Amino acid sequence: MSSVLGNGAPPVIQAIDYVAIAAPLTLVIAAGLVLVLDAFLPHRPGMGRTLGLVALGGVLAALAVVVVQTVAGTHLPNGARRTFCVPSSLGATADAGSCSFVADRFALVFAGLVLAAGAVIVLLSMTELAGGRIPVGEWHFLLLAALTGAVLLPASRDLIMLVVSLELVSLPVFALIGLRRYDGRAAEAALKLFLVSVVSTAIMLFGVSLLYGMTGSVHLDRLARAYEAGPAIGAAAVAAAGPEPAVTTVAIVLVVAGFAFKIAAVPFHTWAGDVYQGSPVPVAALLSVVSKAAGFAGLILVLTTALPGRAGVWAPIVAVVAALTMTAGNVLAIQQRHAVRLLAWSSVAQSGYILTPLAAAASMRAGSSGAALPGAALSGTLPPGTALSGTALSGTALSDTALSGTALPGIGTPGEDGIGGAAAASIAYLVFYAAMNLTAFAIVMIVSRRHGRNEIDDYRGLVRRSPAAGLALAFSLVCLAGLPPGLAGLFAKIVVFREVVGAGLGWLAVVMAVNTVIGLYYYIAWTARLFAAKTTGESRTVPAVPAGAGAPVVPGTPEVRGVREPGFAVPVIPAVVAAGAAVLVTVVFSIAPQVVLSAVG
């Protein structure tokens, strides 16, 4: 085991590939620009919007960089730009020098997801900030900082950088939540998230230190090599790993627990409800999409890139956690009356679905030959040319060639069939989920401008009052439930089910099936409210719509005004744009889910 002490020991001048880090760099520059402009521009009424547009420009520029890199990436010799590599003078092997930053397909897909979501969130923020209770410059700076972390994280390929970028995602969020002054609920949410997050970081760092202590390296590919115990296969690997399995298990559990906090997986999910509800809506959207995506990116990286050799250990854990997470999230969501709180628990449930394929991946790898057969059959359905098909059909899960997969393009970074396919399924679900969930949050944002309480009952009759918003929300909820016409959600669920069934995890498939039904209950209840007749007291001047005779009367709902199509107040416009973009993306995903599937697979 070569002693690699990272980048510190002898004076080495590293050549940094600035093209590789262009996207996070753009975000950082934009963040600095926002801060400087906030400090030096005269405080005039329109300034908030200017800062918002600068932030939006930064996010979109970074997104453009990511798109260009993705397109250009196909021409690169090994499919990815990498930088911050261990120089050969420090013991790197000739072919695969361990790099800390790799902008491969995996990283670019996540970066694209995060930045697209970021653009929507910036737009939502512009509406939120129009209220004037929140300092604009700080808000956008923190938002861009969090996005920077989320873009860095999936490209990180060593444990230190993973932890640092994860903290970069988390820390600004506490401040974002607490930025609204004199709001007790927000302060409570910020404190709660802070405490939970700090504890989770500590736990994860402990696990990371154990991993480092045992293998002597922090780079993920070296960890993987250490745990594969060289070219030995099967029993030999287990024998070679003889003395340390207990410590390894502890380390894995601790690392997984650390990420489980971030993605609000059971048993570390309890913060979600209060924090989402207490946060401004854009921050809740940030938590549920960007922060969650970052958590999943880290989890997938650690599990599938660094620890594929210990799949037998983490697979059952992930399976149980996934089952519990979706169940707990759905059951808790049923009782909610507050829109954001309901979305909070629903997003916990969705986390469970996203986790599920990872459990399947592991059991496919560790599984018997009977389970390997469908795996091979399924891999034939994936587009050829990725790392998957070549190694998959050979069927030897522990073959050494599989490990060289890090050099290959595509999501199947670990180069092992089951895990690659499973990671792709998780990411595909995450992308679908992001689009659907952001649509829901955007509409909730718009409605919350009029109904401060943001209760589910405030949405009664929304389709009649403002058809566009109502239909968009209905569509996103049906998508989240996974039913047509919300085909995006349906296909996302099919992708996950396919992995689970292919791996022979029947019980998990059944648990997920039952959860789909539980989830439908609250989604459809909310959707039905959108279409339900409004209170009968509503003055209706348009004669074309007859009042439903059997309309239920809800006396307690205060209706502000019987306006049909509210002429949107100016501050709502960015949120409307955001909602429109999110709906558009969701519709595209519904009609052509292949866009996502070919991007991740």
In the chain, DSSP finds a helix count (H) and a strand count (E) of 24, 2
- Output the DSSP codes for 534-579: --TTS----TTSPPPTTPPP-TTPPPS---SS----GGGHHHHHHH
Cα separation, 58 vs 53, whole angstroms:
8
Closest CB to another protein among residues 51, 495 = 495
Q: Which is nearer to another protein, 109 or 254 (CB)?
A: 109
| Residues within window 481-520 making contact with another protein, judged by CB under 8 A | 483-485, 487, 490-491, 493-495, 497-498, 501-502, 506, 509-510, 512-514, 516-517, 520
Q: Which is nearer to another protein, 335 or 598 (CB)?
A: 598
Please check whether residue 508 is in contact with residue 356, taking contact to mean a CB–CB distance below 8 angstroms: yes
CB of residue 508 to another protein, shortest distance in Å: 10
Residue 455 phi, psi dihedral angles, 5° rounding: -85, 160
Which residue's CB is nearer to another protein, number 59 or number 532?
Answer: 532
Nearest-approach distance from CB 371 to another protein, in angstroms = 9
Distance CA 510, CA 491 (A): 17
- Least distance from C-beta 338 to another protein, angstroms? 21
CB of 549 to another protein, least distance (A): 5
Task: Please report how close the Cβ of residue 546 comes to another protein at its closest, in angstroms.
Answer: 4
Binding residue count for another protein, defined by CB under 8 A: 49
* Smallest distance, another protein to C-beta of residue 500, A: 8
- Applying CB under 8 A, the span of 56-64, 90-98, 329-337, 371-379 interacting with another protein comes to 371-379
When computed from its CA atoms, the radius of gyration of the chain, rounded to whole angstroms, is 24
Residues 202, 247, 377, 560: which binds another protein (CB under 8 A)?
377
Q: Could you give the CA distance from residue 599 to residue 601 in angstroms, rounded to a whole number?
A: 6
> Which residues fall within 8 angstroms of residue 26, CB to CB, at 6 or more apart?
58, 61, 62, 65
Spell out, one character per residue from 517 to 556, where the chain touches another protein: x when CB under 8 A holds, - when not.
x--xx--xx--x--xx-----------xxxxxxx------
Give the chain's end-to-end CA distance (angstroms, integer).
34
Residues 6+ apart with CB under 8 A from 220: 157, 158, 159, 301, 302, 305, 306
Contact present, 122 and 140 (Cβ < 8 Å): yes
Q: Which residues in the 559-598 window bind another protein by CB under 8 A?
A: 592-594, 597-598
- Backbone φ, ψ for residue 102 (5° rounding): -130, 115
Residues 436-475, one symbol each (x = binds another protein by CB under 8 A, - = not), give ----------------------------------------
Amino acid residing at 535: T
Out of 231, 234, 267, 380, point to the residue binding another protein (CB under 8 A). Answer: 380
Q: Please count the other Cβ atoms lying within 10 Å of the Cβ belonging to residue 447.
A: 21
The pair of three-digit structure tokens given for residue 180, joined into one six-digit string: 């609204």
Minimal distance in Å, beta carbon 116 to another protein? 20
Which residues touch 572 (CB under 8 Å, ≥6 apart)?
Answer: 127, 446, 449
Nearer CB in complex with another protein: 49/540: 540
> Hey, which residues between 210 and 269 contact another protein (CB under 8 A)?
none
Taking a C-beta distance cutoff of 8 angstroms, is the pair 428, 596 a contact? yes
Binding site for another protein (CB under 8 A): 374, 377-378, 380-383, 478, 483-485, 487, 490-491, 493-495, 497-498, 501-502, 506, 509-510, 512-514, 516-517, 520-521, 524-525, 528, 531-532, 544-550, 592-594, 597-598, 601
